[in-house]
A and B are shown apart, each in its own frame.
Chain A
Amino acid sequence: AQKITQTQPGMFVQEKEAVTLDCTYDTSDQSYGLFWYKQPSSGEMIFLIYQGSYDEQNATEGRYSLNFQKARKSANLVISASQLGDSAMYFCAMREVYGGSQGNLIFGKGTKLSVKP
């Protein structure tokens, strides 16, 4: 079974609008962390935002926020006021503290976001 599922292979959003990128995860750990990364066409991976499983507040970093619903095991990324430079691949990743991944990151397959002018 996939540990991280990103169900949207591609998304389009109009410039200046908000967009939500979906991520669901599967773990039996009580302690884990969720990360979102952006990968522009140039290839580097850019860290965007982190949410810990015990964090009570949803994480926010500038225009990025994480809609964390623990009971549903979802950690959706919300980008507000989209810009042309937001066009990229976006990856959700999870780190389990005690799971079989030895504390390493497990990545989803990504969502390609295209921002239209």
Chain B
Amino acid sequence: DGGITQSPKYLFRKEGQNVTLSCEQNLNHDAMYWYRQDPGQGLRLIYYSQIVNDFQKGDIAEGYSVSREKKESFPLTVTSAQKNPTAFYLCASSMVAGGNQPQHFGDGTRLSIL
């Protein structure tokens, strides 16, 4: 079955540590996205990539980094510069950026501070 796989489901970060969240899709989608969701809030865009080897900052990119070396993969690194990383992180993809194509989401990664 085609879909988006995020791992791990739960992740704990120590002070000063970088952690990487994995996102893999087998939908052959060009565009991929990372969102952050805080309790009782909607989704906020961290980074997005419209095509391989290219990505842009979203609304809350500070303290995060990404790479897009393969079409299927869009990992997100939460760096030590992100002072409040505890949140639910969702990865999404769409056939192309924009248009009327919906974004398809993974099951999310819940990140907590130790």
Interchain CB contact under 8 A, B42 and A104: no
- How many interface residues does B have (CB within 8 Å)? 25
Interface residues of B (CB under 8 A from A): 33, 40-45, 48, 56, 58, 88, 90, 92, 97-100, 102-108, 110
Per the 8 Å Cβ criterion, residues 1-37 of A in contact with B are 4, 9, 33, 35, 37
> In the bound complex, what is the Cα–Cα distance between A105 and B43 (angstroms)?
9
Task: Return chain A residues, CB-CB under 8 Å to B40.
Answer: 9, 109-110
Interface residues of A (CB under 8 A from B): 4, 9, 33, 35, 37, 42-47, 50, 52, 91, 95, 97, 102-105, 107-110
- With a 10 A CB-CB cut-off, give which of B43, B44, B58 has the most chain A CB atoms: B43
Looking at the assembled complex, report how far the CB atom of A102 sits from the nearest CB atom of chain B, in whole angstroms: 7
Interchain CB contact under 8 A, B107 and A35: no
Interchain CB contact under 8 A, B56 and A102: yes
Task: Return chain A residues, CB-CB under 8 Å to B45.
Answer: 104-105
Interchain CB contact under 8 A, B108 and A107: no
Interchain CB contact under 8 A, A97 and B98: yes
Task: Return chain A residues, CB-CB under 8 Å to B104.
Answer: 47
Interchain CB contact under 8 A, A45 and B100: no
> In the bound complex, what is the Cα–Cα distance between A46 and B60 (angstroms)?
23
Interchain CB contact under 8 A, B100 and A110: no
The 6 lowest CB-CB distance pairs between A and B, nearest first, are A103-B98, A107-B42, A45-B105, A47-B102, A43-B108, A107-B43
